[in-house]
Structure formats: structure tokens, C-alpha cells
Structure 1
């Protein structure tokens, strides 16, 4: 049976996942950092899988919050609204393709070579600087794309190309796609929501891939491990709902520069910790 201490660690990891998955500050980077100090008493193979599959809880929050908007079968929608919903889904699928293809090919290499403190810290800093530069550049410009009907397939696939950058840990999937959207002329609101929608097939696919590899390598779940996954996903779900609502309210009147500064500070602290303390 899972101890109180282990349960507390899982809850903390679920809270961190729920907050950082949607804010452009890198959920993977934060999970690696928190695990460095908490360290669940599980095998490396299980933890590698856990850090991905816990995202399912976060994804379910998007499905719940945006169920009507993403449901093309809703009886409350007109035929035009249903058509626009199908078009939105088609753009999401197009945007997912670049990361899906490269992720399948490079998953093992990325895990082996890039999941470490220095890479995460550098990506936090680099993209923090980019957020500040891009927000300053776009400060006095009016977004050309303010609705999903204005998002072309070309724009969608280019946002998907930006999402490929998030395969490097520390980048932030939401951060990469939001930056890409803003650079391509979308409003912050459209960039953020499109990032949320992209996460649904991406994270479901990534979770299924991790689970397949985990079981394919001869692993299985103990009762405690099943409880760890379920608790982590449940906490991530409820915290994600709060985080998504916060972000969408925040960007109505503010930009992403504070997140950029946060990334720079955190990345710098991680480098100091890794090279001088650890």
C-alpha cells in the first residue's frame, strides 16, 4: 500500500503537471526538477512512463472545458458551426503531423540524450529570452488572425513545426506553439487555445506510445503503481482546470513577458544547482 509520504509526492507532482502543462514554462523541466528532490520509490522505467502518462489528466481538463467548442455533433450548434468545428479539427490534425512523425522516430534518442539538467536549463533560458523579444516586437502591432476560421492550413502546419521544437525538454509544448502562433500573426488568445487543442492528440499519442513501450519491454503495474498513476492524473486534471482558466483570463489584458523572465531565472538557478551544488 502506498505510504502517506509517497502519496504526498505524487500529489505534488500532479499539482506541478497541472500548472506547468498549460503555462509556457515547461512541464517536463519542472517535473525533472521536482523529481530530483522528491524521488518516488519507483523504477526509472516506470518514472519515465509516469512523467508522460500523467499528462492524460491534464488533457481531460481541456476536453471537459472545451467540450462544446470541440464537439462537431452538438445539437446546440448550427450546421455552419458544426462545419467550422470539423474544419478546426482538420487544422489540428494537420498541425500535429510534424511532431507526431519526428516524435515516433526520435523518441528513444531524445530520452537518452536530452533529458538532463543542462539541456532543460538552457531551453528554459533561451525560450524565456525569445518570449521577451517577441512580445516587445509585437507590442504595438494588431494580430491579423483573431478567430479560428482565419487560421489557414498553412498557418496550422507552421504552428505544428514550432511544436516539433518542444520535443527538446525544457522548451515547453505550449510555449513553442504559442510563440509560433504569435509570430505567425495570431492573437495570444487564439495561439493559446490552438495550443490546448493540439495537446489532445499529441499527448494521447505520446501516452499510448510510452505505455506500449513500457509493457513491450516486459514491465507491468503493481497495485501501488496503478494507484500512483491514477492519483497523479486526478490531481493534474483538477489543477489543470484552474490553470487553464487562469491563463485565458490573464492574457486578455497581459502579455507573456513575465513567463519569459520566470524561465530565465529558473533556468539560471538550475545551472547553478547542477554545476556548483549537485
Structure 2
């Protein structure tokens, strides 16, 4: 992987991680178009650059992270379901992550659903409901669905929040907060697996890692601020159309035998 390829992947990560359009689907397209080999470092890198995205949430919402201990307890409650399922079904989930066709179908199905989300939850717009522990747990349970590649973690958690009568802004922000423990755990696990399998961090790898996280941090900050504004004004329909198009593209390329791979 070259530095330019690392920068492009980091931009893709920063833009797509917090939008309900599946960062995995975009990584497939991006890495395949650039001809990036699916080697152990690349697989680790595409997960590890989430650290930059995580940091962007903490920087943008730093006051919330220092508000009270109850804030952290709610995040832990929401994080527990996906942590348990992830540990119990790790091998099955890893196998599913290799299925490019699954990514295509989940993007497509999720996109169709998104065309109707605004109508389904239109009564939430005036809601002032805040997140209590039962709500956090239910959103965390719904987040389990995002372990299917292509679903999108942000999509699952935002829809989970809307299903609990939260308005779009509150649901989206909690999705960002929940990303911190979820993505940190996934990143730490991936780096640990890479090291235990004999992976090394030479000068080139460290440079790619550093550059990737800095770019992901900057781009994610812009994406988060823009997404909140767009979502509250325009809703989910445009994301639905986008997911449908992307899903169809991936499926067509897959069934034509084009060499797509999940890095």
C-alpha cells in the first residue's frame, strides 16, 4: 500500500463511518479500484484508521464526555450486547465479512428501507425524549444487526434510536458516542490479532498508520458536522437512493466476476 492509497482509504473511512451508507461497502469499491492487495497489514489498517474517526467524536463532543459518569455507564450498557455477540460468534462473523455479495444485498435492502424511514418515524421530530438505561440497552441490542457487513453501524444505531422515540439529532449523536467504545474495541482487537499473527510495524507501516488516522480524523469531523445538519433538514431518503445504487453496483460487479474483495 502506498501513502496515496492510504490517504484515499482514510478519506473513505472518514466520510462513510458516521453516515448510514456502510464504510465496508465503500472500502470494497475503493480498495478494488486501486488494486490494493488484501494482505494482513491492509486488513488491519482499514480497521485501525477508525482511531482517527473516534478521536473526532471526542473532540467535537468533548463537553459531553466530561459531563458525568452516567454518560459512560449508558455507553457501556449499549456496548455490552455487541461485545457479547462479537465474542461468542467471532468466527461466524469473520466468515460473513468475507462475503462481498452479502454487503451488496444488505446495502440494497437497507436502502429500500431508508426510503420509508422518514415517514415511519415522522412523529419523532417533536420528541424531547432523553436516553435512559433501557433505551441505551435497546439501541445496543439493535446495533448487533450492524455486525452483518453492509448494514452500517451508524444506520443500525440511528434507526435503533428512532425506534425508541428519539428525534433524529439525538439518535444520530448517540450513534456517534456509541461508536467510541465499539470502534475502539474492534480496532484494539484487530491490532492485537495482527501482532499475534507475526505482523510488524516498520517505518513504512507506522507512516501509513499515522497518516491514515490524521486524515480520517479531519475528514470525520467535517462529515459529522455536515451529517447532523443534512439529516435534520432532509432526512434519510437520499441516503436510501445512494445505498440502492451502491448495492446494485457491487452486486453487478460481483456476479460479473470482477475481483472485488473486502480488505
Scaled to the shorter chain, the TM-score interval is over 0.9
The answer as to 2:19 corresponding to 1:39 is no
Aligned with residue 65 of structure 2, among 60, 67, 70: 70
- Asked if structure 2 preserves the Cα contact closer than 8 Å seen for 1:131 and 1:256, the reply is yes
Cα RMSD (Å): 1.7
Query: When the two structures are aligned, how many residues end up with a matched partner?
Result: 258
Partner of 1:137: 120
Structure 1 residue matching 2:138: 3-state secondary structure:
helix
Structure with bigger gyration radius:
1
Structure 2 residue matching 1:253: 3-state secondary structure:
helix
Instruction: Kindly report which structure 2 residues correspond to 1:102-181, keeping only aligned pairs within 5 A, or say none.
Output: 102-139=85-122, 141-143=123-125, 145-147=127-129, 150-181=130-161
- Asked if structure 2 preserves the Cα contact closer than 8 Å seen for 1:134 and 1:183, the reply is no
Structure 2 residue matching 1:252: 3-state secondary structure:
helix
Q: Deviations over 1:69-114 (max 9, x none)?
A: 2113xxxxxxxxxxxx322221111000011111123233322233
TM-score calculated relative to the size of structure 2: 0.93
The Cα shift of 1:144 comes to: 7.0
Instruction: Kindly report which structure 2 residues correspond to 1:1-278, keeping only aligned pairs within 5 A, or say none.
Output: 6-40=2-36, 44-72=39-67, 85-139=68-122, 141-143=123-125, 145-147=127-129, 150-276=130-256, 278=258
Q: Distance in 1 between the 2:128 and 2:152 partners?
A: 23
Q: Deviations over 1:192-236 (max 9, x none)?
A: 000000011111111111111111122212221111111111110
- Asked if structure 1 preserves the Cα contact closer than 8 Å seen for 2:22 and 2:151, the reply is yes
Indicate the larger mover: 103-112 or 12-21.
103-112
- Asked if structure 1 preserves the Cα contact closer than 8 Å seen for 2:74 and 2:136, the reply is yes
The Cα shift of 1:171 comes to: 0.7
Q: Distance in 2 between the 1:198 and 1:241 partners?
A: 16
Q: Distance in 1 between the 2:141 and 2:55 partners?
A: 24
Partner of 1:76: none
The Cα shift of 1:143 comes to: 4.6
